[in-house]
Amino acid sequence: MALTTQTYIRRAERDDLDTVVAWMEHEDFQRFLYGDPARSPKQVREKIVGMLGRAVGHTMPGGIYLLIDSPTLGPLGLLSLQNISWRNRSCSIDLYIGKAEHRRGLIAASAIYQTLEYCFHELNLHRVAAYIYAFNTASWRILEKTGAQRELVLKDHVAREGQLYDLYGYGLLRSEYDAFRAQYERSAGGFSLETMIEALRKAAPESGG
């Protein structure tokens, strides 16, 4: 489990551009995230450059882009907090794990929990949303484990490979996340991300997906 305890999230920097651009060329990146076939590779690249190249200003940003990193494995994935509303104290999250072999493991779960910690206990948000394609079972199962509710089901909403798939909208309120956190605090004898993940792992060995 060393992999999961050593992973951490950090701000994405311009130095990460080559890594992220390599991920975005994966078929899966377009399948799971930004899969508009009308958008050319150049346009997708420009989007990523725009995301990572955004200068850190003094105003509160509307989007935050994070890298999932590991001292032993290097950058593992990209996490973005989109449409941050400071008035509604909400955002939506997107996650992409670059290496397919890590998508179903605890690395993805760890990244999600670290992100939720950051959203609720650092940014003081009230609600986190995620829009996940129905075929991306690993992702929505991880989110459901945190207490997120499937609030929205849009039938035949997204086209991939000439087929239509459902889109799920998930919502997690801070009170629900805190209840989830408290549950693992009790079972793990004190809260930390590592103890929570370890407790999750013991409770469900396939918890990653």
Q: How far is the CB of 206 from other proteins (least distance, A)?
A: 27
Under 8 Å between Cβ of 187 and 199: yes
Q: How far is the CB of 158 from other proteins (least distance, A)?
A: 6
Residue labelled with tokens 């995230």: 33
46 binds other proteins, rule: CB under 8 A: no
- Rg of the chain over Cα atoms, rounded to whole angstroms, equals 17
Given the complex with other proteins, which of 38 and 55 has the nearer CB atom?
38
Out of 102, 104, 127, 141, which residue is the one contacting other proteins (CB under 8 A)? 127
Query: Which of the residues 153 through 172 are near other proteins (CB under 8 A)?
Result: 153-159, 164, 169, 171
Residue 161 buriedness (CB in 10 A; 0-12 / 13-18 / 19+): exposed
Give the three-class secondary structure for 123.
coil
Residue labelled with tokens 């200068």: 55
The number of residues in the chain equals 209
Question: Measured between alpha carbons, how far is 199 from 12 in angstroms, rounded to an integer?
Answer: 29
Out of 15, 18, 36, 46, which residue is the one contacting other proteins (CB under 8 A)? 36
Given the complex with other proteins, which of 43 and 149 has the nearer CB atom?
149
182 binds other proteins, rule: CB under 8 A: no
140 binds other proteins, rule: CB under 8 A: no
Question: Measured between alpha carbons, how far is 8 from 72 in angstroms, rounded to an integer?
Answer: 11
Q: How far is the CB of 150 from other proteins (least distance, A)?
A: 8
Given the complex with other proteins, which of 84 and 106 has the nearer CB atom?
84
Residue 119: CB partners within 8 Å, gap ≥ 6? 81, 91, 93, 125, 128
51 binds other proteins, rule: CB under 8 A: no
Out of 40, 43, 83, 137, which residue is the one contacting other proteins (CB under 8 A)? 83
Q: How far is the CB of 172 from other proteins (least distance, A)?
A: 10
DSSP H or E run through 171: strand 163-173
Encoded tokens for 24:
């975005």
Interacting residue ranges for other proteins, rule: CB under 8 A? 36-38, 62, 83-85, 87-90, 126-127, 129, 149-159, 164, 169, 171, 173
